[in-house]
Amino acid sequence: MSTLEKLQTLAQVAEDRERWRAEGKTVALANGIFDLLHVGHVRYLQGARELADVLVVAVNSDASTRAYKGPGRPYIPEAERAELVAALDCTTRVLLFDEPNVRPIIRALKPDVHVKGTDYTPDTIPEADEVRAYGGRTAVAGDPKNHSTTEIARRTGREGGKG
């Protein structure tokens, strides 16, 4: 499947989810902004993919990124961020979302495992209750949080919308 074919709507991914379930495949869901894609993002997504047969990645839209990170973000437009994530071999499907969290996506897809980065523990994942409600599990993947888009932006003079 080509990079652009991996980019789908939630409705399209939900259809795929039913097929994957019928095929006995497990599904992991990861999410994030993925602004200024860096090695920490790649390691997180590779780790998430190792936990299931299929990896769906939900990428925050520009509007939800601004609501979460402030008016100077994102640095990279949503379509480009989603395409970069889709270009990674470890991703199966990528979708954009506007909501403040991934609860609606979890409800629609019921992933076998919802994966967050190492800035969380399985017990501190905000959507853990949603996942446990249908019998799914949560997990943490990636390397220690030693990489940061904000730090990269600061070093390059872009933090706060500069440059």
Distance between CA atoms of 63 and 69, rounded to whole angstroms? 10
Distance between CA atoms of 57 and 60, rounded to whole angstroms? 10
What is the architecture, at CATH level 2, of domain 3-144? 3-Layer(aba) Sandwich (3.40)
Residues 6+ apart with CB under 8 A from 100: 64, 67, 68
Which pLDDT value is given to residue 162? 34
Report the share of the chain in percent with pLDDT over 90.
Answer: 79
The pTM of this model reads: 0.89
Query: Who has greater pLDDT, 118 or 114?
Result: 114
H runs (alpha helix) in 35-148: 39-49, 62-69, 78-86, 103-109, 128-133
Does the pLDDT value for residue 163 go beyond 50?
A: no
Confidence band, pLDDT 50/70/90 cuts, at residue 122: confident
pLDDT tens digit sequence for 45-88: 999 999 999 999 999 999 999 999 999 899 999 999 999 999 99
Query: Who has greater pLDDT, 153 or 19?
Result: 19
Does the pLDDT value for residue 143 go beyond 90?
A: no
CB atoms within 10 A of CB 65: 23
Which pLDDT value is given to residue 34? 96
For residues 94 and 6, is the Cβ–Cβ distance under 8 A?
yes
Mean pLDDT computed over 119-135: 93
Mean pLDDT computed over 148-154: 56
Does the pLDDT value for residue 123 go beyond 80?
A: yes
Does the pLDDT value for residue 151 go beyond 70?
A: no
Which pLDDT value is given to residue 147? 58
